[in-house]
């Protein structure tokens, strides 16, 4: 049997799925608030559309991959956040991962994760939600993050290997981060950060 396992926990009920599509199958059976725990290995997924927790064994061990794009969509009307912990998100195509809310009030929590894309101008696109990124690596893009459509992005103790893309509506709160690239932000806050290239900041603390 394939050693890759996705375990779906719904209340006290636990069900295991096996193989490269285990995450896809577990996602089908999940509802908002459920927890999916992934073993080490690569798991296929092109879209996550529920407010669930996906927990891996570590960014160097558990990988979510796709031959196309990988999108995370947080449904409206839910009180649960989308939570990603201890994993890498890495499409094998030239598409960058994206995270999008529905009404703008949704929340995504990212902890100890790595987002990676091949040859793309923006590494991670975040829109219409509140995102908190902690102890994570966003790398291999001209811009590491694009905060669009009123997204509020907080990055703490993280590495952004690529700059931050300007948005007239998106805002950044950066604390104790290393930004390897250009910084073009407005109406944001930057504290105790190292920035390796030229900055363009307007109305920013």
Q: Where are the alpha helices (DSSP H) in the chain?
A: 22-29
**Is 134 within 8 Å of 159 (Cβ atoms)?**
no
Q: What residues pair up with 82 in beta bridges, in sequence order?
A: 108
pLDDT digits (tens, 9 = 90+) for 57-75: 999 999 999 988 899 999 9
Give the percent of the chain with pLDDT over 70. Answer: 96
Can you give the pLDDT at residue 120? 58
pLDDT digits (tens, 9 = 90+) for 22-51: 999 999 999 999 999 999 999 999 999 999
Enter the pTM of the model: 0.92
Which phi and psi (to 5°) does residue 16 adopt?
A: -110, 145
């Amino acid at each position: 049997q394939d050693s890759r396992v996705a375990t779906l926990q719904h209340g006290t009920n636990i069900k295991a799925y096996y193989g490269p599509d285990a995450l896809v199958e577990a996602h089908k059976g999940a509802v908002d608030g459920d927890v999916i725990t992934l073993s080490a290995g690569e798991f296929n997924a092109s879209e996550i559309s529920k407010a669930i927790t996906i927990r891996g064994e570590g960014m160097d061990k558990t990988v979510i991959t796709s031959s196309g794009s990988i999108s995370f969509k947080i449904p409206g009307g839910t009180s649960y956040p989308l939570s990603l912990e201890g994993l890498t998100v890495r499409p094998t195509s030239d598409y960058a991962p994206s995270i999008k809310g529905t009404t703008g009030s949704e929340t995504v929590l990212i902890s100890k994760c790595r987002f990676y894309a091949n040859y793309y101008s923006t590494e991670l696109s975040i829109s219409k939600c509140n995102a908190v990124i902690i102890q994570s690596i966003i790398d291999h893009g001209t811009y590491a993050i694009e905060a669009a459509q009123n997204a509020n992005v907080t990055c703490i103790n993280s590495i952004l290997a690529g700059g931050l893309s300007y948005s007239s509506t998106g805002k950044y709160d950066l604390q104790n981060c290393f930004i390897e690239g250009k910084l073009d932000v407005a109406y944001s806050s930057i504290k105790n950060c190292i920035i390796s290239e030229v900055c363009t900041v307007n109305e920013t603390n």
